[in-house]
Amino acid sequence: MDHLMEEFERIHDRLDEFFEKSEKNSLFSQVCELSYYFAIFHMIQAARSRYKESENGDTEQSSLLHGLINHGFFGMTIMGIRRLVDENERALSLIQIIIFIEKNQHIITRRRDFKHQNIEYDLDAIRKRRDIWRERTVGSREMLRVPQECDCGPTQDLHTFWDQLSRTEPNTRSYEDVISKSLLASLKAKLTESKKVAIHAHSNIAHAQRMPRSEEARKKMAVTYGQIKRAFKEVCEVYYFVFKLVTGSGTLLVPTIYENPNRFLDRPIAASDDLELLEQTWRDFEAETMEWREWDWKSLA
């Protein structure tokens, strides 16, 4: 009897928590939300490319509106990537789930994973049953309907996955195979661009640090859309892998939309007739903020 199976199940429950769909801060929720807004931003970028140019070469679009969209998207995405590679031990991050697997590597074995997923381990036994069944049903329609106990697919697929996890060959498989340390180290090392984005978020968004004076140094500190997308790609690739490791299945990131969110995309925020009202709204808010200067600070204790 495997006395550590109960410990394996406890560890697996903890791993499942990282992907809990109802948890707002789970890896599942974080990555899906980033994917969703990346898809929307791609759509907006495609729409921008179709804007007409005015006579002086400017594009006919609102700098206010699109400046806000850009600022919001970049800030949200950079902080989102920072969260996913957060090394704080309490964080629901990709780094932390890999560290958790490393700490419990000796308990997460090939045999226990088969038992957890309720998949038969012995591939040869299934093949023998399949061959007997084929001989019995040869030439009949029944031969086309392979019974579950004669289906090698699930067992073969999980063994192949564990061969890759443990860096072993099929002829050297063992009950006690564990996930390769070098594989886990490579997963963390793969998040190079993501960590650069996280450093930028830490220095320029989460914490306000003094900017360098030279223009060249400032450019080095800047993060481009290309860098953010490469970082997001890294995050998604590692996420896909870890999700399959924990759940035994694949997943989609960008959700399928069953309503048409684009049906009003070409509508402006307001018609031209409303511009005077909008400008007045700006002036009213400006006046309100001017009043804030006169607050009674002398009343402080």
- pLDDT beyond 60 at 301: no
Domain end position, chosen among 178, 196, 229: 178
Packing angle of the helix pair 94-103, 225-247 (nearest 10 deg) = 40
Selected residue with higher pLDDT from 1 and 247: 247
Selected residue with higher pLDDT from 176 and 209: 176
pLDDT of the residue at 108: 95
260 in a domain, yes or no? yes
Please count the other Cβ atoms lying within 10 Å of the Cβ belonging to residue 208.
8
State whether 188 and 278 are in the same domain.
yes
pLDDT 10s digits, 69-125:
999 999 999 999 999 999 998 899 999 999 999 999 999 999 999 999 999 999 999
- pLDDT beyond 80 at 59: no
pLDDT of the residue at 84: 95
Helices and strands, number each (H, E), in the chain: 12, 0
pLDDT 10s digits, 221-274:
678 899 999 999 999 999 988 988 888 777 666 666 666 777 777 777 777 788
Domain end position, chosen among 178, 194, 221: 178
Number of domains in the chain: 2
Per-residue confidence at 158, pLDDT binned at 50, 70, 90?
A: very high
Domain end position, chosen among 124, 144, 178: 178
The least confident of 18-27, 52-61, 152-161 is 52-61
pLDDT above 70 as % of the chain: 90
pLDDT above 90 as % of the chain: 47
Task: Read off the DSSP letter of residue 273.
Answer: G
Selected residue with higher pLDDT from 192 and 47: 192
State whether 146 and 184 are in the same domain.
no
**How many angstroms from the chain centroid is the CA of residue 76?**
14
State whether 277 and 190 are in the same domain.
yes
State whether 70 and 188 are in the same domain.
yes
298 in a domain, yes or no? no
pLDDT of the residue at 219: 66
pLDDT 10s digits, 83-92:
999 999 889 9
State whether 84 and 192 are in the same domain.
yes
- β-bridge mates for residue 59, sequence order: 53
Q: Cβ(99)–Cβ(185) under 8 Å? A: no
In which domain, by residue range, is 171 found?
A: 109-178
d(CA 31, CA 174): 34
Selected residue with higher pLDDT from 32 and 51: 32
State whether 87 and 132 are in the same domain.
no
d(CA 79, CA 73): 10
Rounded mean pLDDT, 29-40: 89
**How many angstroms from the chain centroid is the CA of residue 145?**
38
How high does pLDDT run on average in the chain? Answer: 86
State whether 65 and 204 are in the same domain.
yes
